[in-house]
Amino acid sequence: MIRIFLLLLLMLVFPSAHAAWVTITGEANIVKGDVNAARQQAIKHALNMAVITNGGSINAQQTVTNGILNQNAELTNTAAYSSLEIVKEQHKNNRIEVTIRVDLLQNINEGCVSNALKAPLYLPRAIVFDRKQLRYGKMEEFPQALSQKLAAVLGRNSSKVYPKLDLTNSVPSQIFNNEHRGDSASWLNQQTNTLYLLLPEVEDMAMASSPSGISSLWDKQQRDFRLKMSLVHSISGETIWQKEYQFTTDWDFDANADAKPISDAFWQSSYGSAIGNLLNQVSLDLDDALGCRPTMAQVIAKQGQRVILNLGRKSGVRTGDKFNVVLQHNFPDRVGQTRTIAKATAVQVTIDQITDDTSTALLNAMDDGSGIQINDIALKN
């Protein structure tokens, strides 16, 4: 049973709070025909998205029972809700979509809801620590399939980032735990033109102990899953969020069967559905972790009074948007690690051309852009 503790005391803490009706859709897999559990999962998903995108945050304790993600959630920060109603419900291909209408209590002075730009996020092929575990079920294609699924979830659900998927390369999170993390991040930043790196690493997907005794006649084999997610800032190399997720649930396939992890049949199985629900939670946690962080553009080319930024239509940039330029300086510290400092300027650029991933901007006539260099930062006004 999902229990959500409403922080209606926010009405007392923030006397300027007001109500706002928000309509939003959540989704979930229907596992073993349990529509009620899937409905609750979809409602929770929609509610979490509504709160996060309107200035709130979620403190949650997660458990997974038979592949169903359960959560005791506490809505905090500057948003809660006073009422909720289901507007529409649809079933399709073992999935359920539930549209809810929720009356959010918002603090009108909250400061980060207006930051509507999505940041480009580099998503490489997932890493499986023990590749021998892929042999059971012939899961050799699972690393690519996992990243593809995560990219689809982020593209559909995230309000903070949009993924740039790379299935040809894997990036271990440990390279950002040493003194050269800034150099590694800087190289990836230049190669991918992204603000963040999201690194999925499967720490365990072993088969659980086989059922024994009389219960083995009807109990299914179980399989573990433990995933570590790391979010790295591609400019500084700082790991700004890291979290582990895990569950154990039924493995619906025979011992010698090919589970085909790129197939719909796999993702509709108990194991695949549980991973899908887990990835929905990753998307929510990621948005929550990014919170009020500004989406920073970088100068990737410059000629005369014109600069090209690495944010475009997919990020929500529009013609006429204005950005302030922040100069970036990199220098080595005493152990050779690259450090970055930033210097705000009064220089402003105005967007006049847009592609999916980039935008072209002109310096205002009164501004001197001679100090602007490649990799300098631009923040939307």
Contact partners, residue 71, CB within 8 Å, separation at least 6 = 2, 44, 60, 61, 62, 63, 281
Q: What does pLDDT average to over the chain?
A: 80
CATH assignment at residue 217? 3.40.50.10610
Domain termination site, one of 290, 321, 341: 290
Token representation of residue 351: 């967007």
- Predicted TM-score (pTM) of the model is 0.73
Residue 29: per-residue pLDDT:
82
Buried b / exposed e over 353-364, threshold 16 CB at 10 Å, is ebeebbbbbbbe
Residue 91: per-residue pLDDT:
92
> Which residue bears the tokens 């940039």?
317
Residue 52: per-residue pLDDT:
55
Q: Can you tell me the mean pLDDT for 225-229?
A: 98
Q: Are residue 181 and residue 253 in the same domain, yes or no?
A: yes
Domain termination site, one of 275, 290, 305: 290
**Looking at the predicted structure, is the pLDDT value of residue 67 above 90?**
no
**Looking at the predicted structure, is the pLDDT value of residue 359 above 70?**
yes
Q: Can you tell me the mean pLDDT for 357-366?
A: 88
Q: Are residue 156 and residue 237 in the same domain, yes or no?
A: yes
Q: Are residue 284 and residue 302 in the same domain, yes or no?
A: no
Q: Are residue 169 and residue 202 in the same domain, yes or no?
A: yes
Q: Are residue 52 and residue 100 in the same domain, yes or no?
A: yes
Residue 322: per-residue pLDDT:
93
Q: Are residue 81 and residue 136 in the same domain, yes or no?
A: no
CATH assignment at residue 337? 2.40.10.410
Token representation of residue 34: 């349990």
Give the Cα separation of 193 and 201 in Å (integer).
Answer: 22
Question: How many domains, in total, are found in the chain?
Answer: 3
- Residue 108: pLDDT band (50, 70, 90) is very low
Instruction: Say which range, 28-37, 60-69, 276-285, 352-361, has the weakest mean pLDDT.
Output: 60-69
- Is 9 within the bounds of a domain? no
- Residue 23: pLDDT band (50, 70, 90) is confident
Q: Are residue 142 and residue 191 in the same domain, yes or no?
A: yes
Domain that holds residue 215: 119-290
The H or E element that residue 188 is part of is helix 181-192
- Is 254 within the bounds of a domain? yes
- Is 3 within the bounds of a domain? no
- Is 7 within the bounds of a domain? no
Contacts of residues 325-334 at CB distance under 8 Å and 24 or more positions apart, as own/partner, are 325/299, 325/349, 325/369, 325/372, 325/376, 325/377, 325/378, 326/296, 326/376, 326/377, 326/378, 326/379, 327/371, 327/372, 327/373, 327/376, 327/377, 328/235, 328/373, 328/375, 328/376, 328/377, 330/182, 330/186
Residue 170: per-residue pLDDT:
95
Q: Are residue 151 and residue 240 in the same domain, yes or no?
A: yes
Q: Can you tell me the mean pLDDT for 287-295?
A: 87
pLDDT in tens, 301-319: 999 889 999 999 999 999 9
* Paired sense of beta strands 161-166 and 296-303, if any: unpaired
Q: Are residue 143 and residue 257 in the same domain, yes or no?
A: yes
- Is 159 within the bounds of a domain? yes
Q: Can you tell me the mean pLDDT for 39-49?
A: 79
- Residue 165: pLDDT band (50, 70, 90) is very high
Q: Are residue 83 and residue 191 in the same domain, yes or no?
A: no
**Burial zone of 224 (CB within 10 Å; 0-12 exposed, 13-18 middle, 19+ buried):** middle
Q: Are residue 277 and residue 306 in the same domain, yes or no?
A: no
Residue 190: per-residue pLDDT:
84
Residue 228: per-residue pLDDT:
98
Q: Are residue 320 and residue 208 in the same domain, yes or no?
A: no
- Residue 41: pLDDT band (50, 70, 90) is confident
Question: 75-89, 221-235, 285-299, 321-335 — which one is most confidently predicted on average?
Answer: 221-235
Contact partners, residue 101, CB within 8 Å, separation at least 6 = 21, 22, 23, 84, 85, 86, 87
**Looking at the predicted structure, is the pLDDT value of residue 114 above 50?**
no
- Is 317 within the bounds of a domain? yes
**Looking at the predicted structure, is the pLDDT value of residue 182 above 50?**
yes
- Residue 106: pLDDT band (50, 70, 90) is low
Domain termination site, one of 272, 290, 308: 290
Q: How far is CA 83 from CA 72, 73, 102, 109, 254, in A?
A: 18, 16, 6, 22, 46
Q: Can you tell me the mean pLDDT for 17-44?
A: 78
Q: Looking at this protein, which amino acid is placed at residue 94?
A: N
- Is 89 within the bounds of a domain? yes
Residue 291: per-residue pLDDT:
83
**Looking at the predicted structure, is the pLDDT value of residue 7 above 80?**
no
- Residue 337: pLDDT band (50, 70, 90) is low
